[in-house]
Amino acid sequence: MKRFFWITLALLPFLSCTRQSAGGTSAGIPFEDTRWKLTSLTGITQLPAADKDMFTRFYKKRAYAYAGCNNLVGSYTLQGNTLKVMNLASTKMACPQPFMDAETQLTEALHHSTGFKIVGNKMLLMKGATVVAEFEAVSVK
């Protein structure tokens, strides 16, 4: 019984569920390779109801996003919690105005972001000290 106790005690540091996420924050959910569902966006009082989730995902230096109409793709750099999204390109479908407005705001939020914070299962996209978009983790690879 004593032997079991000492083995368990020795293994305890390796059994932790918390892992270091990309971007240098200690969180259970990594910034990269997580699908982040859009829950709030500066400039939009209520997100339009889309057929599928509005989201963003950062994976292998590529940024992906969707706001109910067009697909967005670009590149990004990450250093600690500092984020820079660049060269966003979009498909060119016309959609109802609420979706176009959300897409414009999401594109601006991504393009002008300077960093992020992960709090629990939420990711806050930041422009300086201001939160410009909020997301919730829906899947982690």
Residue bearing tokens 């410009």: 132
3-state secondary structure at position 65:
strand
Contacts of 40 (CB under 8 A, 6+ apart): 47, 133, 134
Domains of the chain: 17-140 (2.40.128.270)
Question: Model pTM?
Answer: 0.76
Q: What is the pLDDT of residues 37-80, one digit of tens each?
A: 999 999 888 888 878 889 999 999 999 999 899 999 999 999 99
Say if residue 5's pLDDT is above 80: no
Report pLDDT for 6: 36
Say if residue 3's pLDDT is above 50: no
Share of the chain above pLDDT 70, in %: 80
pLDDT bin (cut points 50, 70, 90) of residue 138 is very high
